[in-house]
Amino acid sequence: MAHQSEMIAEDIHSYLKQQEEKSMLRFITCGSVDDGKSTLIGRLLWDSKLVFEDQLAALEVDSKKVGTQGDDIDYALLLDGLQAEREQGITIDVAYRFFSTDKRKFIVADTPGHEQYTRNMVTGASTAQVAVILIDARKGVLTQTRRHSYLTSLVGIRNVVLAINKMDLVDYSEERFNSIKNDYEAFATQLGFESITAIPVSALKGDNIIGPSPKTHWYHGPTLLAYLETVDVVNDVLSKPFRMPVQWVNRPDLDFRGFSGTIASGKVSPGDEIVVPSSGQTSRVARVVTMDGDLPHAIAGQSVTLTLTDEIDISRGDLLSAANERPAHADQLEARLVWMHEDPLLPGRSYLLKTGATVLAAQITALKYKVNVNTLEHQAGKTLALNEIGVCNLSLGKAIAFDPYQENRGTGNFILIDRLTNATVGAGMIDFALRRATNIHWQALDLNKKSRSLAKAQKARVLWFTGLSGSGKSTIANLVEKKLHSLGKHTYLLDGDNVRHGLNRDLGFTDADRVENIRRVAEVAKLFVDAGIVVLASFISPFKSERQMARDMLEDGEFWEIYVSTPIDICETRDVKGLYKKARSGELKNFTGVDSVYEVPASPELVAEAGTTSAEEIAEEIVQKLLAENGAQLLPEGSMW
C-alpha cells in the first residue's frame, strides 16, 4: 500500500489537506521502441510502494504468463494494459497514471515508441511540463529519439530528463554514458530546451530510480524521483492574459444568461473588462458563477459561468479575452503541423479546423517546408505523409481569435479533421497571422447573380460530370451543351483535358495536384455561375472531398453531381489513346482506376449508366430533367426557362 496509508487511517482530514496543497507535475516518457519506458515507470511505482495489493497479485500472475523477464516481475505490465501491447511487448496507446509522494503529485503519460504511433505521443505531450526521454545505452541516439525530442520541443516542453537506460547491459560505463549525453546535447542545441538533465539508470534493476546506485559511483546528480520531486516548473499560465473559450451559452430561464467554459489562461473577477475579438464588443464581468455559488475570482483550469453587465452577442466558440490584452484575430495563419493519418496531407483540400469549441472550414494553401527530424533541416515538399512535420500556410473560412502557441498553449493549438470520415488527421500549433494587403477588399457591385440570370432568362448552375477516364463524361457533357444551346441557353463547358492546356498546365497527376486542379476549376465554375451561366464541368474528379468542396461553394440547388457510371472494362475498350494500357504496364503513373483511387459518389443528383445507355439518351434525360424544374426552384423570379 502507498506510503500515506497510516495518515489516511489516523487523520483523514490532514491527509486530504496535505494532498490539496501539493503541487502537481505532469510528465511524459518517450523515446524509441524497447528503450524501457513502461518498465521505468512501472519500476518507479513499484519502488515507491505505490502498487496496491490486488495490482501486485495480478502483476505476479501476468509476469509469469505474458512477461518478458522469466520468473521475475515484468514492471512494464503495470503500464501496458492492452492485450495487443502485452502480446507484442510494446506500448500502443498512451497510458496515464496518477501517483504521489511526500513532496508532489504526478500524472505520467507513458507514450508509445513505434513511429506509427507518433500521433499518440503528441497527444500525451500536449499537456506535459517535463519529458523523460529514454535512450538504450547499447543503441545510443536513434531516429525516433530525435523525432520525439523534436515533438517535445514543438509542443512547448522546456525541461527534459535524458534517462540513459539499460546501463547494466554496458557494465555501467561512464564513458558510454558521457558519449550518449554529448551526442544528444549536440543535437538538442537547436531545440530550445531550458534544461537537459542526464541520468544513468537501469529501469529493470532499479539503479538511480529512487535512490543513488553504488554501481554508478562516478555519477553525482539526482535520481529520477528526486529530479521529478524538485524540478522547478514555472506555471506561468496564471500570469498570461485572461482567455476563456465559450463552450455553452447558459440560458436556464429568461432572467439568466451566462457563458460557460474552462479558463485557458489568466484569471478573472467581477468588474473586469472583457472583449469578444470576433466582434470587438466589450463588457464587464458581473458574476463568476459555479454550482457551489459565486466566486470572488477564478483562475486558469477552473470551469465557470460568467455573466456580463451588457447584452452583447456571444456564441459557442467565441473567445472571451482581457480587453487590455487582446489576442490576434485572423483568417490566414502560419502553423507547424504534425500529420497524423495514413492518407497524406493534400494542400488545397478542404478540412475542418477545430480550436477550442470552434469548428470551421480550412485549407492548407501552401506547404512551406517539411522538417527532417534527424538533422532539423528544412526540406521542400508538396505534401505530408503519416508522422511527418511541416510548416504551412492556412486559409480559414472565417477569422478566429488566437495567441501564438509559444505564448499560450491553450489558445494556439488546433486539430484538422477530415470532412468525410470525421477522423483527426493533423495537430497544429499556430505561429502567427499572415499579413494581407490592406488595400484589398470586396468591391460593391450594382449587378448580381440574380440580375445577370434574369437577363439570360435562366438559372445559373453547375452540371458536374464525374467518372473514370473513358466513361463518356465529355461526350455526354458536349451533347448536353449542344441541346441547351439550341434552346437559346447561355452555357460554358469546362473540360478536364482542355483546362490543363492553360489554367492548370503547371499541375501533374499526383493526389495533391488533382486536388489543386479541382479547386481551381471549382473557383472558375463559381465565377461563371455568378455571371448567370450554366456551367458543364467534365472532370474525373476522383475524390469525394473535392466534389463536396465544389458543391459547398454554391447555393443549394446550384450544383448537380452527375455520376457517369461505366464499368472499367468498357472504359478500357473505349481508350483510343491507350492510357489504360500504359497504366497497366507501369508507363503511366497515378492513373485513376488502376493505381490511383476513384471514390464513387454517395448521393449524386443523377447516375448515368453509360455502359448500357447511349450518350444521346443520357444527354436528353439530363436536359428533360432541367426543363422539368420550372418556377422558383429553377429560375429567378420573373424569368422562364
Active centre residues (catalytic): 541
Read off the C-alpha cell for 429.
500549433
Task: Please provide residue 504's backbone torsions phi and psi, each rounded to the nearest 5 degrees.
Answer: -115, 30
Phi, then psi, of 133 in degrees rounded to 5 = -100, 115
Sign of the Cα torsion 94, 30, 346, 608 reads negative
Positive or negative: CA dihedral 115, 349, 557, 563? negative
Closest to 351 in 3D by CA, of 418, 400, 413:
418
If we measure between CA atoms, which residue out of 330, 333, 238, 332 comes closest to residue 277? 330
Point out which residues pair with 322 in neighbouring strands. Answer: 274
- Name the β-bridge partners of 362: 351, 396
Name 260's Cβ contacts closer than 8 Å, sequence gap at least 6. 246, 247, 248, 249, 250, 303, 304, 305, 306
d(CA 278, CA 312) in angstroms, rounded, equals 12
The one-letter code for the residue type at 64 is K
Helices vs strands, H then E, count in the chain: 17, 28
Residue ranges of alpha helices (H) inside 219-338 are 224-230
- Strand runs labelled E in 103-148: 104-110, 130-136
Of 390, 463, 452, give the one whose Cα is nearest residue 427. Answer: 390
Q: What is the DSSP string of 217-251?
A: TT--S--HHHHHHH-----GGGTSPPEEE--EEEE
Are 118 and 147 a contacting pair, CB within 8 Å?
A: yes
Q: Which residues are CB-neighbours of 139 under 8 A, at least 6 positions away? A: 32, 35
